[in-house]
Chain A
Amino acid sequence: MLDQVHNARHNQFPAEALIGELCHDFIRLHGDRLHGDDPAIIGGIGMLESMPVTVIATNKGQTLPERLATHGGSPEPWGYRQALRLMQQAEKFHRPVLTLIDTPGAYPGKDAEDNGQAAAIAELLQASATLATPLIAVITGEAGSGGALALACGDEVWMTSKSMYSILSPEGFASILFKDVTRTSEAAALMKLTPDELLAAQVVERVMSVSAELPRQLRAALIEEFEMLQNLPPEELLARRQARFRKF
């Protein structure tokens, strides 16, 4: 069980490199226009072959200074507000939105709390429900708690075969439920965080096998799905998305 957790945290698909493999001509767009620029979020516009898409990815960084600056890929409120800004921009220009998720969760910091971490996530959850443009989320590593969900309220949620998606980190789960952080392995087994279990629970629609071919396969699958979603009348697109979450 812990293998799954270990794999998911291995930063198998660093955000910047994966965006480069999926898209060409990616233009990075910074900042939330309200407070700052969060290095834990990479946002921008790129070409998925001939299709312009808005991409929003959580970023763990590669070097030690980057990993410190991004808090290991944990966004702060201004990162979530940047994501919202770019989603609304995509809606305005009828561009699909792709989110790439690899985050332990929203950053647990004082500034983050003082700047409304909860409110920033809440705003994304509400806005995603009525965002009139296709929205697909792909979990490429770990996806923990509301901080991951904020970027995963789309028409479809996919994950790689070596990723996980859970209500909280297994460590946090063990410390809350068992009051014992050493029981992480036991917690991870109870959490049903593997792709197969999540597929069975209809939390995700698709699991992509991890291989050297993954970026190419993912690009092809995204183009096909985005084209299908873009051909739906907006009311139907939104009705489908709302029904997707209504079933839980």
Chain B
Amino acid sequence: MLKPQQATLDEATLKRAQTIPEGLWRTCPNCGTSAYRGRFGSLQVCPHCGFGLRLTASERLAQLCDCFDPWDEQLELADSDFPGYMVKRAQAQAASGSSESVRCGQAVIAAQPCALAVMDSYYMMGSLGQVAGERLCRLFERATAQRLAVVIVTASGGARMQEGIQSLMQMAKISAARALHVQAGLPYFVVLSDPTMGGVCASFAMQGDVTLAEPHARVGFTGRRVIEATLHNKLPASFQQAEQVMATGFIDAIVPRAQLKARLALLLQLHQEVCHA
């Protein structure tokens, strides 16, 4: 039997390895392929499978908007007695650079005005609590009052557990605001990005007139592990992937990140007259 060959590195190579900065290679969470980070480009898209890496709200805004005028950034949550929650919020703020899990405002996307919300999965997994719920509710209310189309880029694990039943109520509150936006005859376009799950998926994420998704984004209600545990069975890799959700009839189109801005601008342009009616 052959002895496995020992890989030995000389002193000089080891020393040189130590000078290489961390994080030059990234592994795509969708296809598992590693690539030099530069190859993900400024849009942060996997060069192999086209999966869009998760973005902070400011990165997403920079990719989509010509200009963005924020609304309701100052909304504060009353102090919560839930153990550790206030500390967790502060950490989330530092990690994401966002003051909550969604940022809303008036935006211009390739010369088309709209009311825009982008969710930030780096802020407590984009979870929906009272501040985010109030921002989104006001987004629809302002859009109704100002006759604007709404665009929301979703990214969320669902309702925020730390806020309990109040968080659940946000789903109903936002849905009611959307219902009045519908009654005013105004359009709403959703972009499902990875992940869009739980209470966010089961409310405003599925109430759009047009529902777009980024390639391979995970979209669903109950998480895969919970379903596997219930069924005592493994689910296929395609389960809850945007492509599969589109095949079952719940998504209009999968749009690669590089084309997203132009696609949204076109949709907004096509509905311009509706807003001015």
Q: How far is the CB of A184 from chain B (nearest CB, A)?
A: 14
Given contacts A122-B205, A173-B161, contact A113 B199 (CB under 8 A): no
Given contacts A126-B182, A146-B171, A153-B172, contact A190 B222 (CB under 8 A): no
Q: Mark B187-202, 1 if CB is under 8 A from A, else 0.
A: 0000000000011011
Q: With an 8 A cutoff between CB atoms, is A123 at the interface?
A: yes
Residue of A nearest to B197 (CB): A118
Task: List residues of chain B with CB within 8 A of the CB of A224.
Answer: none
Q: Which of A181-222 contact B (CB under 8 A)?
A: 190-193, 198, 201, 203
Given contacts A109-B227, A113-B227, A122-B207, contact A149 B183 (CB under 8 A): no
**How far is it, in angstroms, between the C-alpha of A149 and the C-alpha of B240 when the chains are bound?**
23
Q: Which of A144-168 contact B (CB under 8 A)?
A: 145-146, 149-150, 153, 165-168
The dominant DSSP class at the B interface is helix
A190 and B82 within 8 A (CB): yes
The dominant DSSP class at the A interface is helix
**How far is it, in angstroms, between the C-alpha of A123 and the C-alpha of B204 when the chains are bound?**
9
Which stretch, A41-49, A61-69, A83-91, A240-248, touches the partner chain B?
A: A240-248
B248 and A116 within 8 A (CB): yes
Residue of B nearest to A175 (CB): B226
Q: Mark B218-234, 1 if CB is under 8 A from A, else 0.
A: 01111000110011000
Task: List residues of chain B with CB within 8 A of the CB of A116.
Answer: 206, 248-250
**How far is it, in angstroms, between the C-alpha of A203 and the C-alpha of B166 when the chains are bound?**
8
A-B contact count (CB 8 A): 149
Given contacts A116-B248, A117-B222, contact A203 B169 (CB under 8 A): yes
Which stretch, B10-18, B42-50, B173-181, touches the partner chain A?
A: B173-181
Given contacts A122-B206, A149-B172, A203-B169, contact A248 B130 (CB under 8 A): yes
**How far is it, in angstroms, between the C-alpha of A166 and the C-alpha of B164 when the chains are bound?**
7
Residue of B nearest to A149 (CB): B168
Task: List residues of chain A with CB within 8 A of the CB of B133.
Answer: 248
Given contacts A108-B227, A122-B207, A146-B202, contact A129 B175 (CB under 8 A): yes
A246 and B173 within 8 A (CB): yes
**How far is it, in angstroms, between the C-alpha of A95 and the C-alpha of B247 when the chains are bound?**
38
Q: With an 8 A cutoff between CB atoms, is B159 at the interface?
A: yes
Residue of B nearest to A108 (CB): B222
Given contacts A110-B239, A192-B165, contact A121 B227 (CB under 8 A): no
Tally chain A residues at the interface, Cβ within 8 Å.
Answer: 46
Task: List residues of chain A with CB within 8 A of the CB of B167.
Answer: 167
Task: List residues of chain B with CB within 8 A of the CB of A166.
Answer: 164-165
Residue of A nearest to B219 (CB): A118
Task: List residues of chain B with CB within 8 A of the CB of A242.
Answer: 176, 180
Q: Assuming A121-B206, A145-B168, A149-B168, what are 18 further A-B pairs, CB within 8 angstroms? A: A106-B221, A110-B227, A110-B239, A113-B222, A113-B227, A116-B249, A118-B206, A119-B250, A126-B175, A126-B176, A126-B178, A146-B198, A153-B175, A167-B161, A168-B159, A191-B165, A198-B165, A248-B172
A-B contact pairs, 15 of them (CB 8 A): A119-B250, A122-B201, A122-B204, A122-B207, A126-B175, A127-B179, A129-B175, A130-B182, A167-B159, A177-B162, A192-B164, A201-B165, A245-B169, A248-B170, A248-B173
Give B contacts to A, CB under 8 Å: 82-83, 130, 133, 137, 159, 161-162, 164-173, 175-180, 182-183, 198-199, 201-207, 219-222, 226-227, 230-231, 235, 239-240, 244, 248-250
Give 6 closest A-B pairs by Cβ, nearest first. A122-B206, A129-B176, A248-B169, A125-B175, A108-B222, A118-B201
